[in-house]
Amino acid sequence: MLIKILRRIVQDVNAARDLPEVLNIVVRGVNEAMRTEACAIFLADTELRKNVLVATEGLNKDLVGRVQLKLGEGLVGLVGERAEPINLENAAAHPNYILYPELGEEAFKSFLGVPLIHQRHVMGVLFVLQREARCFDEAEEAFLVTLSAQLAGTIAHAIAIGAVKSLTQNNPEIPKETTLRGVSGAPGVSIGIAVVVYPHADISAVPERQAHNIEEELQLLDAALTSTRKTIKKLGENMASIGLPTEEQALFDVYLKLLDSKSLVDEIKKEINSGLWAQGALKRVINHHIARFEAMDDPYLQERASDFKDLGQRVLANLQSRTGNTSFYPEKTVLVGYLKAA
């Protein structure tokens, strides 16, 4: 049950329009999955040196953006400092417990909080509350930890573009200017128009976009699937000819079976028919399967998530080669790209 809801939450998050919608999807979904009575997210604002309430289901929503805790303050601050989950059957008995009656917290007793971590940096805390004494079990804690890992990447991107500051500093407008620290490709100083170059065939970099012509997108998908099948079949034959062990050759057969799977292809086509362009439909379906396998307890099944990601990248590469989009570089262009951490 938890895995099903996790999959649905991740799908909804991937389709969300902005960060506030993402956060609200998460708090609503967590309450439903864990059958808790309140869920909330605090994000860290390094300029204010505070954790700020940015979303809740079950607490006072009028205080979103207004409740601010010092870093390290309360149970939220303790989760952030330790960078690990805290599971309490009676939160009020903990020395770090602080009551905020305006939030409606006095009605709750149990607490489970997990940190939102991206590249070893704690960006906030996700927690749930329950009225009666309740020690959340390992499966529930694992669910919350897995979801927080999925959410962390989205928040990191929002921090980079300044969207988090618009929430934590109670400003509805996303800043028009923001500073990004990077590594220069050449010495000196240049002033120009920044053009962001997205990595080729990177599922995570595919933007949400509506299809201009659904029939054309379906044709692009079919052509990309055909090309991917041919490439994988040829690669498998080449590897067999040089003596690749049978158990490793089996991976190519797995890929071909997935590509021939009516259910997988139909899932992607269903997303296209709903209005998404082919690349976005592929991303949504592949991410759905990646999340499903990553949430499993069996390490072998967890590894299957990488198979879906690799297959998705291969199909995406063929889709992009057929799209024929040409980048436009104005005069005095400053190219901006990014390198994903391993």
**Which DSSP string corresponds to 219-243?**
HHHHHHHHHHHHHHHHHHHHHHHTT
To the question of pTM greater than 0.75 for the whole model, the response is no
Q: According to the model, what pLDDT value does residue 81 have?
A: 93
Q: According to the model, what pLDDT value does residue 161 have?
A: 64
Q: Rounded mean pLDDT of the chain?
A: 82
Phi, psi of 124 (to 5 degrees): 170, -170
| Cα distance between residue 311 and residue 251, in whole Å | 11
| Cα distance between residue 140 and residue 23, in whole Å | 19
> At residue 203, what is the residue type?
I
| Cα distance between residue 305 and residue 266, in whole Å | 19
CATH of the structural domain 2-168, one choice from 3.30.450.40, 3.40.190.10, 3.40.50.10420, 3.40.50.150: 3.30.450.40
Q: According to the model, what pLDDT value does residue 244 have?
A: 61
Could you list the beta-strand ranges (E) of 150-249: 193-196
| Cα distance between residue 124 and residue 273, in whole Å | 37
At 59-116, the pLDDT tens digits run 988 889 888 899 999 999 999 999 999 999 999 899 999 887 777 766 788 999 999 9
At 195-222, the pLDDT tens digits run 766 555 677 778 778 898 999 999 999 9
| Cα distance between residue 322 and residue 326, in whole Å | 11
Average pLDDT over residues 117-139: 89
- Assigned architecture for domain 203-323: Orthogonal Bundle (1.10)
CA angle 125, 131, 137 (to 5 degrees): 60
| Cα distance between residue 174 and residue 161, in whole Å | 8
Q: According to the model, what pLDDT value does residue 107 have?
A: 73
Could you list the beta-strand ranges (E) of the chain: 38-45, 50-57, 68-70, 86-88, 110-118, 121-130, 193-196, 333-336
Q: According to the model, what pLDDT value does residue 169 have?
A: 62
Q: Are 16 and 141 in contact (CB under 8 A)?
A: no
Asked if residue 3 has pLDDT above 80, the reply is: no
Instruction: Give the residue with greater pLDDT, 62 vs 159.
Output: 62
- Where do the domains of the chain lie? 2-168, 203-323
Hunting for tokens 């262009």 — which residue is that? 333
Distance of CA 36 to the CA centre of its chain: 23
Instruction: Give the residue with greater pLDDT, 30 vs 170.
Output: 30
